[in-house]
């Protein structure tokens, strides 16, 4: 008799814990300070996203959201159950991939990392207030594909991730460091061609609403960053209420102050520093290329005019996979607390001035973790031949 594959205990713990929350908390508590009601309202619009109305999200989630609404036949409680259940599945997959990578990186260490990550995914409300677990799932599947040398699958998962949010693109620079050039080209092409084909198809069918959807993702101005503080913008990244989603909109950031320092200037400076970092980095080992992906993401966030607290879900697994125990816990704890302090503790209660604390501290944390990763990626000469991967010297996986 064929045996069913057994789920690791941390994954079972995650599923059990989240189901208990889902079954026992009232709907208002599940919604919390998240975007569930907004997602439902968008799905309730007549027609399909990008084709009949514009949305501020990339297409994969937008269509996924509409399909959930149709499956629920418009009933809010059914829609919420499907949505919450889907997020549990996404987080379970992410944890399974995390466990797989942990065993590759930290060869002789216990499983505290996966248990801790399971606790974070169970307790952190960002994992059920928003749809970010979907993009994290695709991101983690792509990392496993690269680790297993299944580059075509890695490119496919990256493409789906980019269609959900643009963040998985940070993997592309790193893969050029650790993959042979031919495989890097194939993986990159698959990762980029898939989103390009989808967007071209949508532009062909509905150019106005597709352009507004894209503009809504990147044309909102600055929010919740040090750049937003300089601009005098204290709003969150949400698109304002009362906008007609059936009509194209030209200027999504009209209610915000313009940039005091143009983004292209900051991009030139920070991008040059990031490019130097990339050229100097070594990424022959699993722990190294994971750290390079994390550093690329953090450098991007230091430059980014906007920030949403739930975005930390992208970086938490990388921190836990690449740093030693003390430093990993320190960075995870501080990032989670500072973001929870920002949202929902301060901003939901109207304390916008709290951004003068949370935004600079978060930026400093990103800078510090990049510097920490630099000791792994740009080793001193006497260490170059004896890099430690998970507490044990090992040969490159590639």
pLDDT digits (tens, 9 = 90+) for 302-353: 999 999 999 999 999 999 999 999 999 999 999 999 999 999 999 999 999 9
Going by pLDDT thresholds of 50, 70 and 90, the confidence category of residue 388 is very low
What mean pLDDT do residues 145-165 have?
96
pLDDT(251) > 90? no
181-205 and 171-178 helices, crossing angle to 10°: 160
pLDDT(394) > 50? no
What mean pLDDT do residues 61-67 have?
97
- What gap in Å lies between CA 228 and CA 307, rounded to an integer? 9
Q: Which is it for strands 388-389 and 392-393: parallel, antiparallel or unpaired?
A: antiparallel
pLDDT per residue as tens digits for the range 164-188:
999 999 999 999 999 999 999 999 9
Angle at 298 between CA 314 and CA 106, to 5 degrees: 60
Among 104-113, 181-190, 192-201, 224-233, name the one with the lowest average pLDDT. Answer: 104-113
Give 339's contacts (C-beta < 8 A, 6+ positions apart): 126, 309, 312, 358, 362
pLDDT(393) > 50? no
pLDDT(252) > 70? no
Sequence-ordered alpha helix ranges (H) in the chain = 9-24, 27-31, 36-43, 59-71, 76-105, 112-123, 126-129, 132-147, 151-164, 171-178, 181-205, 207-218, 226-231, 263-280, 286-303, 316-322, 325-340, 355-377, 381-384
Which pLDDT score is estimated for 253? Answer: 57
- What gap in Å lies between CA 367 and CA 379, rounded to an integer? 18
Q: Which of 292, 300, 291 is nearest to 270 (CA)?
A: 300
- What gap in Å lies between CA 245 and CA 167, rounded to an integer? 25
Q: Which of 24, 57, 47, 137 is nearest to 91 (CA)?
A: 137
Q: Which of 24, 95, 81, 57 is nearest to 216 (CA)?
A: 57
What mean pLDDT do residues 24-40 have?
90
Going by pLDDT thresholds of 50, 70 and 90, the confidence category of residue 191 is very high
> CB–CB of 161/61 below 8 Å?
no
Which pLDDT score is estimated for 243? Answer: 79
Bridge partners of 392, per DSSP, are 389
Which pLDDT score is estimated for 128? Answer: 95
Between 30 and 397, whose confidence is greater?
30
Q: Tokens 């792994």 label which residue?
A: 376
pLDDT(260) > 90? yes
């Amino acid at each position: 008799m064929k045996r069913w594959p057994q789920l690791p205990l941390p994954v079972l713990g995650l599923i059990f814990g989240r189901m208990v929350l889902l079954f026992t908390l009232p709907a208002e508590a599940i919604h919390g300070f998240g975007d569930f009601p907004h997602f439902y309202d968008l799905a309730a619009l007549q027609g399909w996203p990008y084709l009949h109305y514009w949305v501020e999200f990339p297409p994969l989630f937008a269509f996924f959201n509409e399909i959930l609404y149709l499956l629920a036949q418009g009933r809010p409680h059914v829609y919420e159950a499907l949505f919450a259940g889907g997020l549990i599945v996404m987080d379970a997959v992410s944890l399974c991939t995390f466990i797989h990578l942990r065993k590759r990186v930290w060869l002789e260490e216990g499983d505290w990392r996966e248990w801790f990550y399971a606790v974070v995914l169970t307790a952190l409300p960002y994992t059920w207030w928003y749809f970010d677990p979907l993009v994290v799932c695709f991101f983690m599947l792509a990392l496993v594909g690269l680790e297993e040398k299944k580059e075509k699958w890695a490119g496919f998962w990256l493409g789906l991730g980019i269609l959900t949010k643009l963040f998985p693109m940070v993997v592309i620079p790193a893969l050029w460091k650790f993959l042979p050039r031919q495989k890097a080209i194939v993986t990159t092409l698959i990762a980029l061609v898939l989103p390009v084909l989808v967007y071209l198809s949508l532009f062909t069918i509905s150019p106005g609403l597709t352009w507004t959807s894209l503009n809504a993702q990147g044309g909102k101005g600055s929010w919740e960053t040090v750049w937003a503080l300089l601009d005098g913008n204290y709003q969150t990244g949400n698109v304002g209420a009362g906008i007609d989603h059936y009509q194209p909109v030209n200027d999504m950031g009209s209610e915000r102050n313009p940039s005091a320092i143009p983004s292209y200037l900051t991009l030139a400076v920070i991008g040059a520093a990031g490019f130097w970092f990339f050229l100097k980095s070594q990424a022959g080992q699993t722990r190294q290329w994971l750290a390079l992906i994390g550093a690329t993401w953090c450098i991007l966030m230091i430059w980014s005019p906007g920030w949403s607290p739930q975005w930390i879900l992208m970086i938490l697994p990388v921190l836990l996979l690449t740093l030693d125990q003390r430093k990993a816990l320190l960075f995870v704890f501080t990032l989670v607390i500072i973001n929870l302090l920002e949202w929902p503790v301060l901003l939901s209660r109207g304390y916008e001035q709290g951004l003068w604390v949370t935004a600079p501290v978060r930026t400093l944390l990103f800078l510090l973790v990049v510097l920490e990763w630099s000791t792994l990626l740009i080793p001193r000469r006497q260490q170059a031949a004896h890099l430690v991967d998970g507490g044990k010297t090992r040969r490159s996986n590639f």
